[in-house]
Amino acid sequence: MPRRRRVPGPRRPAPTERRETVEEAADGDWVVRSITGSATAKTYRCPGCDQEIRPGTPHVVAWPAYARDSDLDPWDTESSADWRRHWHTACWRARDRRR
């Protein structure tokens, strides 16, 4: 029986690896994660336009880089994830012009 060998290719990140960035803005520091369309199975409501983000739609998830009004470490991103919201990418980029 022939032995199978894996051909090296681009490494796919493990599910536990998160591609997040911290963005500094006038409304605070935000942890931002880009979501691909294939990674979405639920419908969300965008806080920027109040429209649905349908399954299969690429978008971003953002939450404060630290829990507001708390004594937590300023970079405690796990506890502030309760503030996580799903945004259309364009709405997220335009949020400072909507207020």
Q: pLDDT tens, 5-46?
A: 444 544 555 544 557 888 988 888 899 999 998 888 899 999
Do residues 43 and 52 lie in contact, with contact meaning Cβ atoms separated by under 8 Å? yes
pLDDT bin (cut points 50, 70, 90) of residue 64 is confident
**pLDDT at position 45:** 97
Phi, psi angle pair for 27, to nearest 5°: -95, 15
The pTM of this model reads 0.68
pLDDT at residue 52 greater than cutoff 80? yes
